[in-house]
Amino acid sequence: MTNAKASQNAKMTKVILECFSVIRISSFLRAWSFVIPIMSILVDKSTRLVVQGITGSAGAFHTRQCMDYGTNVVAGVTPGKGGQMFDGKVPVFDTVWEARRETGCNASMVFVPAPAAADSILEAVDAGVELVVCITEGIPVMDMMRVKALMHGKQSRLIGPNCPGIITPGECKIGIMPGYIHRPGNIGVISRSGTLTYEAVWQLTSRGYGQSTCIGIGGDPIGGLSHLDCVKLFNEDPGTDAMILIGEIGGSAEEEAAEWIKKNCKKPVAAFIAGMTAPPGRRMGHAGAIVSGGKGTAAGKIEALKAAGIAVAQTPAAIADTMIARIKASS
């Protein structure tokens, strides 16, 4: 009898300890979720967003748009306005460090005027925010050179500047893109052009094809994530079965991505390059969209993409159809 009772007590003790361990682990993960984010392609329902410049007109408008879409906006930052509440829901802090400490934010959206935007990016990086999305246009190239140098070796990732942002349809929107054109699915979209991103997405959605994540990397000559960086993320993502790359003249980012895809990627890829008729030496819209020294031409990029086995659309109107045909040919 005594042995049976002792055995029963030992079993109960084991169960209690196991339950206690689960509680401790889950509490630890909740407390430190901002250090170990659980994300698909950079953003999802678990993303906790801080908006730098939340009280400005553009920042306030697009913050509301993001919140209406379902993005979890947990904080805002405007120096000198700490202690206020944005729309009675979101606490405003003086610094990103305070916002990070109090809310565990793991992503930032920057709506700060160009002269101060670079410092705002670095403030978020210094606070340890994992993903910084800078929407601001017109940041001086010298400022971005400094940002690029100081971010080297840091764990934070930068999208932009001069970009529409990033969206995982149905889960999280960080940026200025219209949410209603997107549909959850398995095609990843990477683009230097905001407008062409929307064009490709709407074409896909209209044809019944959804998107896993859409990333507008921006069109400035010096920025954060490149085509290649995003291709690698999508290639590793089990929720992405195919990719669309939208590039333009200038630089060598598309060629570098094509070379990597040729050697490493088995997923169907389609692309479009803007700027076929742009004259050498003439900037085409974006600061980085310029052919200089005979490099960065649309013809050269298209040749590199085709050599990598990537299907290239001849016009913007054919982007989705080119992608769909490539998917069907690969199945």
Catalytically active residues, by annotation: 286
Of 114, 227, 218, 105, which Cα lies nearest the Cα of 172?
105
Q: Is 138 left (phi over 0), alpha (psi -120 to 50) or beta?
A: left
Which residues of 63-116 form beta strands (DSSP E)? 72-77, 85-86, 90-93, 107-110
Of 290, 15, 29, which Cα lies nearest the Cα of 141?
290
Dihedral pair phi/psi, residue 149, rounded to 5°:
-65, -45
Token pair of 115 as six digits: 């002269």
List Cβ neighbours of 27 (8 Å cut-off, separation of 6 or more): none
Of 264, 276, 187, which Cα lies nearest the Cα of 228?
264
Using DSSP bridges, classify how beta strands 311-312 and 269-274 pair: parallel, antiparallel or unpaired.
Answer: parallel
